[in-house]
Each structure stands twice: as structure tokens, then as C-alpha cells.
Structure 1
Amino acid sequence: MSHAPRSRTSLYLDLIRWDRPAGWLVCLWPTLSALWIAADGFPGWHLLVVFVLGTFLMRSAGCCVNDVADREFDKHVKRTAHRPVTTGAVGVQEALAVGAVLALLAFGLVLSTRAAAIAWSVPALLVAIAYPFAKRLIAMPQAVLGIAYNFGIVIAFAAVQGTVPAVAWWMWLGTLFWVLAYDTEYAMVDRDDDLRIGIRTSAITLGRMDVAAIMVFYLLFLSIWLVALEPYALGALFHMAIAAALAQVPWHWRLIRERTRAGCFAAFRVNHWLGCTVFAGIAGSHLLRAALSKWLPLSPYGG
């Protein structure tokens, strides 16, 4: 039975993982958290739109580069064998052109902010391009992905403050451990295929220590953020959010402990809820502080 040819729009949406938002949401939540911390509250609609759209566009551009770089490997991996570049439905040059347009659109958004943010966007782009090739060279390519994804934190502070203070780098470090956690879960899905074709991943490098390491990575992420943001006096809502995020860690353990493809993939896909929880605590704390300052001007929050 023959299938009707798919439209270019349908193929491009598949190329950028339009129907799989988890990949850009895990990048979005730390970026928005950084925006709120840098701005000491709501950063304004302009910066919010810039960073939400910019995050989506850069992740989409990254997918284009990744699929071109991995097109020969993806043929041998069950989960990726039907990607448009792998099947030949989208050509290599065509995919790179789509990625370039998306990256240029993202850069156009950054141009509407500060010079410091524009400057930091250049190394961010270079690392994003380098990541797909890291799995051929290093044992923990997930760390390179973490560096690429975490540039949103750095650029957010640069866009708001014109500089990147120490707290931004502590948030960056904490988020690096979160990326190691969720992308190792992701790599566990393909471990058998990756072993067969010779790709390096953290799931292979960690071996039977993978589940324990992922638990440690989650704890390091939340601990570093808790300590780094403590001077900002975010209050009870933030601490409740950290506790709620911490409560999700055993859920991940239950999903990945048997190392099944379905369980590990499910664990990866629900990670954005953990990041969303932490962001909700940060944004909610600032909202509460603003409300108390308005309605209780003589409170410790007011003047």
C-alpha cells in the first residue's frame, strides 16, 4: 500500500520535533527562572517573548543540525530511523537551510536586547552546533548538551543586567547536572543500539551506575539552586517548590530502575514538570512579594 507524499510543512514540523515539546521546555524553564532572578520579578513582555520564542527557535535549529550529523547513525536506531533527514525525505542542505533560518530568526530576537546578550549568543550558537559531533569524541557528550542548553541562563542575565554575575554561573552549574540527569535517561532508551553502532553516551559510560548517578544529578541540581538563590530571600513558596521538585525524583527512579525503553523515555518526557515546578516557585515568590509590597506597605517587603 503506497502512502501519499508528505507536504514540506509536515516534514519540517517533524524535523524540528514540533509534536515533542519536552525538548525545548526543559531548556525554557531554567531560562525563565534566570530572567525572573535577573529582573527581580517579571522581566517585561518584550524579554519574555524574546526568550520564549528564542528558546523554541534555537532548539528547533539544533534538531536540524543534529539530524544531519546523525543521519547515518539514526538508520540503525529504532527510535530515530524514521526521521526526515535519515529517510531522505528532507535533504542535508535543505535541513541545514531550515536550521540556519531558524537560528537567524533567534539571533534577530537577541538583537533587540543588550550588546552583552548579543555577544554571549555567539558562543551559545557555536556550542549548539558542536554538540551533535561530541558523541564521537567524548565519553559524556550530555555535558556538552548541558553547556549548550544552559547558555539561555547566561544570555538572560546579560539581557537584563548587561553583565553575568556569579549567581548566573551557579544556576548554570546546577542546571548542567539536571541536563546530565534527563539526557542520561534519554540515552538509556537507545543504549543497546548505541553500543552496537559505537556511539558514546553517558548511559554507556556510567554502565550499571546509571540509575544511581541520575539520582545524584537531580539532587545536585536542586541543592545548588537552593543554595545559590538563598540570598534572594524568595521565601516559603520557593522552598515549597524545591521540595515539590525533590518529591518528583523518586518518580523518576521508579520509571528508570528497570531500564526499559518505555520507562526511560517516559522519565525524560516528564522532566519539564520538574523545571516548571522550580520556576513556578521563583515566579510565585516574586508575585507574592509584589502583592505584599502593594497591599502591606509597612511590611518587611515594602518601603
Structure 2
Amino acid sequence: MTHQPDMPEPKGQVSDAVKGNWVDHLAPGWTRPYLRLSRADRPIGTWLLLLPCWWGLLLAAASTGRFGLFDVWILVGCAAGAWLMRGAGCTWNDITDRDFDAQVERTRSRPIPSGQVSVKQAAAWMGLQALIAFAILLSFNLPAILLGIAALVPVLVYPFAKRFTWWPQVFLGIAFNWGALLAWTAHAGALEAPAVALYLAGMAWTLFYDTIYAYQDTEDDALIGVKSTARLFGDSPRLWLRAFLIVTVVLMALAIILALAPLNNMLVLVVALGSAWFLGWHLAWQMRMLDIDDAQNCLRLFRANRDAGLIPVLFLAAAVLL
């Protein structure tokens, strides 16, 4: 049998993109640099931004005992908004980090440092995505709209955090879990304590998964002076990761109890608490599998957090249906 040569990688493919992704193989050629700026070839970030939105909506719906057509729109609107705002945020990140990205092996193939798009083109693309997302946001109630506007502050600050703190993952957590506050408010009409507890649980979860992600770049980050929790924790991250796991589970359980205990429905409460319990087991499995010296292992476990984040979605959806 003759050996079949490997298919060449598509022109301009980013090094850490999902192999065989639709952007590199199906999207029109002129759109690919812009879709790569939005990380459409790496969908995990959209999931990690979206899932806290769905947590907040479903927990709010379970607490009120109602889920209507507008809630379906909130689900869909959050999905579209997460894709757009993740894209706009990543484009902003690539604009601000273009000089750093050119010095890091994993990121030098991104569209700006590789010359696929100019900074002006990237800025225009960022603005277009943000405007469409804002149009979606306007369909929600006023408190949710105001929260959505406020979310721009951590989005703008995050790319600079690794320049001045060892904890840039905190700033990522602030930005990436804002949807838990927004989606709860879009359903309930007001921001309440359970949403805040859920938001803080999401921040702890972000610290967990993004620390794992950051171990891919520790050597390059050290050379160029970029800070991260991975560099801070060094060869001993497990104590910290275990702490993030525990805080995630405890705060998510607290959010569920605050939201659902007043219903006096033990079945609904127990089913919803399965969110925190089984999410915790998934994070524990990630810790057992983690090899911080293997970049591919870190990337694979980071991507596994889509499935981890879907666990609360399933249990909270079941609680809504009961």
C-alpha cells in the first residue's frame, strides 16, 4: 500500500486552531482572517463565555417557576451575543497584544502578527461585531442592558492585566462570567444574590481552567515578561487548582440554595445541586489527568471545560422542567 501524504495545512491557519475546522476549510478565503481574529476556528472560548449566561437564565427560571418564549430568545440572544462579543474581545486582545504575540510560538501565526490583516482592519471588524451584539442587547430589559454596557469595562481592561498582575485570570473571570448576572437579570428583571454567588462560582471556575491553559506558554511568557497564575504557581499548581475547584462547587451550591430553597421543593433543589456536585467531579478528573509539562495535554483539558460547563446546564434545565 502506498503512503498517502498528509494534507497541507490551509494557508494562514493559526497554530492552535482545531484541526479540520470550518473556517480553514469552508469559509470564503477573504473572510478567514477576520473569522480567525474572532477565534471562530477555536470555538471553546465562545462556549466558556456562553455557558455562565445559560446558568444564570436557567437558575432564574427555576427560581420563578416560569420559562416562556422570551426566555427562549434570551437563550438564543446570549448564544449570538457570546459569539459576537467573544469575537470582539479577542480582536481587541490581538490588537493590544500584537507585539507580544509575534514573540510567542503559539500566537505568532495569528492574523495581525502574521500580516493577514492590518490593525485598522481589525479595529473595524471589532466595532462591527460589538455593534451587532449591542443591537441584540437592546432587546432585553433596561437593567440587563445597563449590565451589558458595564461589561465593556473588564473586556477593555483584560488584555493589559498580564502586564501589571500575576492574576490576569481574575480579570478574565470578571469578563467571561458577566453573562450569569446579565441573563439572570434579563429573566428576573433585577440583579439578586443568587446571581452574584453564581457569578463568583464562574470566576473560580475560570481561574481553574485558564491556569491550565496558561501552562502552554510559561517559557515564552517568562522570556517576554508576561505574568500569569501558571508562572506564579510554577511546578506546584495542584493546591491552587484544588482550592479553585472547592470554591467553584461551594459558591455554585450556595447560589442554587439561595435561589431554590424558598420554593420548598426538595426534588427541584436536589436535582439542581447536581450541577455543583458533578461539575466538581469533572474538575477533579481534569486535575488527575493534568501534565503541566505537556502543552497538548493542557490544551485538551482546557477544551474539556465545554463539557464541564454543560453539566450545570443539564441539571438546571431539568430543575426548570420539574
TM-score w.r.t. the length of structure 2 is: 0.84
> Does the aligned pair in 1 maintain the 2:194–2:254 contact within 8 Å?
no
Mark the CA change 1:118 to 1:4 in structure 2 (over 3 Å): closer, same or farther. Answer: closer
Structure 2 counterpart of 1:193, from 205, 212, 220: 220
> Does the aligned pair in 2 maintain the 1:255–1:266 contact within 8 Å?
no
Aligned residue number for residue 42 of structure 1: 67
Mapped partners of 2:11, 2:233: distance in 1: 44
Mapped partners of 1:18, 1:116: distance in 2: 30
Residue type of the alignment partner of 1:15: L
Aligned residue number for residue 145 of structure 2: 118
> Does the aligned pair in 1 maintain the 2:249–2:276 contact within 8 Å?
yes
What is the CA-CA distance between 1:258 and the residue it aligns to?
4.3
Are 1:214 and 2:241 matched, yes or no?
yes
Aligned residue number for residue 254 of structure 2: 227
Written as runs of structure 1 = structure 2, the 5 A alignment for 1:25-174 is: 25-40=47-62, 42=67, 44-174=71-201
Cα deviation code 1:96-137 (max 9, x no counterpart) = 111111111111101011111111112201211111111111
Are 1:254 and 2:279 matched, yes or no?
no
What is the CA-CA distance between 1:199 and the residue it aligns to?
0.3
Residue type of the alignment partner of 1:175: G
Mark the CA change 1:163 to 1:45 in structure 2 (over 3 Å): closer, same or farther. Answer: same
Aligned residue number for residue 36 of structure 2: 14
> Does the aligned pair in 2 maintain the 1:35–1:153 contact within 8 Å?
yes
> Does the aligned pair in 2 maintain the 1:42–1:283 contact within 8 Å?
no
Mark the CA change 1:107 to 1:259 in structure 2 (over 3 Å): closer, same or farther. Answer: same
Residue type of the alignment partner of 2:133: A
Mark the CA change 1:4 to 1:225 in structure 2 (over 3 Å): closer, same or farther. Answer: closer
> Does the aligned pair in 2 maintain the 1:15–1:64 contact within 8 Å?
yes
What is the CA-CA distance between 1:196 and the residue it aligns to?
0.7
> Does the aligned pair in 2 maintain the 1:69–1:132 contact within 8 Å?
yes
Residue type of the alignment partner of 1:13: L
What secondary structure sits across from 2:139 in the alignment? coil
Residue type of the alignment partner of 1:53: A
Mapped partners of 2:43, 2:319: distance in 1: 26
Mapped partners of 1:35, 1:188: distance in 2: 32
Mark the CA change 1:113 to 1:262 in structure 2 (over 3 Å): closer, same or farther. Answer: same
Are 1:270 and 2:304 matched, yes or no?
yes
Structure 2: gaps of 5 or more residues:
1-7, 13-27, 262-267
Two-structure CA RMSD over aligned residues (Å): 1.9
Residue type of the alignment partner of 2:204: F
Residue type of the alignment partner of 1:277: I
